[in-house]
Amino acid sequence: MFWIRNKAGLVPALFAVTLIAGEAAGFATPRFSPMWMWAGCSAMLAATVAVGWSLAPLRWLAAAIAGLSLAWRSESERIAIDERARSLSESGLPPGYVLKVESGVSCRYRLAKGDRTVCFSSSIGSIPVKVVAQIDAYGSIPSAGEVWLCRGWLSLKKDSPSRYSRRTLWVMERGHMERIEAASGFCAGVAYRKVSGFLSRYAETGLGWNPELASLNKAMLFGRRSEIGEKKRSTFAFAGTMHVFAISGLHVMLVASLINMLLAKVRLSHAMRSACALPILAAYVMLSGARPSAVRAALMMSLWLGAGLFGRKPDSLAAWGVAAIAVYGLSPAMVFDAGCALSFAVMLGIVLWIRWTSQFASPLDPLLRMAADEAALGNDRRRDSLLKWHRRGMWVLTALGISFSAWIASTPVTAMVFGRIAVGGIFANVVVVPLAEISVVTGAAGAVASMVLEPLGAFLNNIAAASTWMMETVSELTARCPGASVETQAWSWSDCAMWYVAWVALFCVLARHLPPKVFIPVKSWSNGDGDGHDVLET
């Protein structure tokens, strides 16, 4: 029944899961990476047969083989980079790399030796790189957007979480860096970073009395988690609430809601509001650093809003599937990114939970039946009181359910990457997430208001800081509770798969025994003006 009701959305979602599973299998078997072209051709053949002969099972095979091919292609590129890093050039010099200066340019003088140490961020293929180079005291300093030829040695930290983690390119000799191309006019990445820094200064207006809360405010609004102290970061991580500082679905949803509310004030149609909101969402994601979780959330929200532009019904499962295919199809190495995996897993868990629970009766339905009886007797005060308690109870149940589903979906990722299971986060997030919403809304309003009226901006920023302080307090109390955070050995892929299989099996059994949702007939329900009419309440 669940499959039939949600088939339109489950098909692209399962296609995305199959693609990601194929990529995981490909990264687990790097020795076969030279066969990536054979796998790609096999995927095309399977897809052709599936479409030409209407053989639906073959499309899942095509998705798995396509993921395998993409992963092997990335592994082949990585192996070539590693082999090149261990060899000398024909002239006997270290291997050279043509790199574009992306961000993080810094320079440090060493007066004793009369030279400078320059650092900047770049990438070699799908591998991020930090360049550390020695240059002359009067040599040119790299700028964002420029292209440089750097000769040096690549290194990877021993405690790096994966082989696709950021590496360091050490350019130890002077003269081994040469600029080969100047910055080509306007650089969007540099402009966004400048604007982000400009806005973040306004986000701390009126918070000079507590720099720690100002840093938490900026981390909450712009995803600047590097400004959070190590002690605070550990507290949020142990409590299972660190996710509120990652620009993801919560932030993008709130920004989209604010945009929609403001555009509705000027009486724009739904289609026009969607068209105007899309570029603003893209700008916000770029301002926050375009992290994978933010890109995922923006893609899903764009698909959701874009469906209305073409007269289609939005489908959250289909939006999740298309976003996952886009992110992992274009960058297979994102399989190793814990933040990206957490973002996709949690969102899928929440969407499936909401759709699964919507087909069963609520434990608070007796309150609605009592309210129906009171309405039939004409006792409006008693009816309103019962409805009020029903709404409050449903809010608590919904919050606990969403937090529980997010915990189920995220536990394998946290256990595999961090070796920890944050059980306390199930309850802490019920309080922390609403506080995070208040902090984001008031923080954004405070940053904007500070440009026009500083006292108003300071007032709103302090409200955001108060919400952040309460989030911190709840997280500290949760982290101190016995059993709130359990250490464990790093899980393997098979452990994660068995975790999900076990929960799916449990939900299948529960679906056979839980009572289905029913419609409660309510007679003579007063609409507030004395007129009665028959309605149906679920």
Instruction: Output the domain CATH number for residue 121.
Output: 2.40.50
In a domain, 333, yes or no: no
Say yes or no to pLDDT of 335 above 50: yes
Which range scores top for mean pLDDT: 152-156, 377-381, 419-423?
152-156
In a domain, 341, yes or no: no
Per-residue pLDDT band for 341 (boundaries 50, 70, 90) equals confident
Please tell me the predicted confidence (pLDDT) of residue 244. Answer: 76
pLDDT digits (tens, 9 = 90+) for 468-489: 899 889 988 988 888 888 888 8
Of 127, 158, 185, the last residue of a domain is: 185
Say yes or no to pLDDT of 70 above 90: yes
Which range scores top for mean pLDDT: 237-246, 350-359, 376-385?
350-359
In a domain, 31, yes or no: yes
Whether residue 417 sits in one domain with residue 506:
yes
Other C-beta atoms within 10 Å of 529: how many?
Answer: 5
Whether residue 103 sits in one domain with residue 81:
no
In a domain, 352, yes or no: no
Contact 15, 317 (CB under 8 A): no
In a domain, 378, yes or no: yes
Please tell me the predicted confidence (pLDDT) of residue 215. Answer: 83
Of 66, 85, 104, the last residue of a domain is: 85
- Lowest-pLDDT range of 147-156, 223-232, 350-359: 223-232
Higher pLDDT, 87 or 138: 87
Per-residue pLDDT band for 23 (boundaries 50, 70, 90) equals very high
Mean pLDDT over the full length of the chain: 82
Whether residue 118 sits in one domain with residue 70:
no
The Cα-based distances of 415 to 1, 350, 502, 535 in angstroms read 32, 19, 16, 48
Please tell me the predicted confidence (pLDDT) of residue 506. Answer: 93
Say yes or no to pLDDT of 536 above 50: no
Please tell me the predicted confidence (pLDDT) of residue 535. Answer: 39
Say yes or no to pLDDT of 152 above 80: yes
In a domain, 214, yes or no: no
Q: Work out the burial of residue 307: count CB atoms within 10 Å of its CB; fewer than 13 is exposed, 13-18 middle, 19 or more buried.
A: middle
The Cα-based distances of 536 to 372, 393, 521 in angstroms read 10, 20, 5
Task: Tell me how many domains the chain contains.
Answer: 3
Which range scores top for mean pLDDT: 50-59, 264-273, 457-466?
457-466
Whether residue 147 sits in one domain with residue 6:
no
Whether residue 152 sits in one domain with residue 61:
no
Whether residue 511 sits in one domain with residue 372:
yes
- Lowest-pLDDT range of 153-162, 435-444, 486-495, 519-528: 519-528
Whether residue 118 sits in one domain with residue 75:
no
Please tell me the predicted confidence (pLDDT) of residue 187. Answer: 63
SS percent in the chain: helix, strand, coil, step 5: 65, 15, 25
Whether residue 504 sits in one domain with residue 415:
yes
- Interval 134-156 mean pLDDT: 85
CA distance 43 to 105: 42
Say yes or no to pLDDT of 324 above 60: yes
Whether residue 148 sits in one domain with residue 118:
yes
Whether residue 409 sits in one domain with residue 503:
yes
Q: What is the pTM of this model?
A: 0.83
pLDDT digits (tens, 9 = 90+) for 5-15: 777 788 888 99
In a domain, 503, yes or no: yes
Q: What is the token pair recorded at 319? A: 């939006």
- Lowest-pLDDT range of 109-118, 198-207, 335-344, 365-374: 109-118
Say yes or no to pLDDT of 363 above 80: yes
Burial 471-500 (b: 16+ CB within 10 A, else e): bbebbeebbeeeebbeeeeebeeeebeebb
Higher pLDDT, 67 or 135: 67
- Which distant-in-sequence residues (6+ apart) come within 8 Å of 92 by Cβ? none
Q: What is the token pair recorded at 326? A: 């886009």
Say yes or no to pLDDT of 257 above 80: no
Say yes or no to pLDDT of 232 above 90: no
In a domain, 322, yes or no: no
- What Rg, from alpha-carbon coordinates, does the chain have? 27
- Lowest-pLDDT range of 12-26, 111-125, 148-162, 311-325: 111-125
Whether residue 38 sits in one domain with residue 8:
yes
Of 53, 85, 117, the last residue of a domain is: 85
Range of the domain at 8: 2-85
Whether residue 133 sits in one domain with residue 15:
no
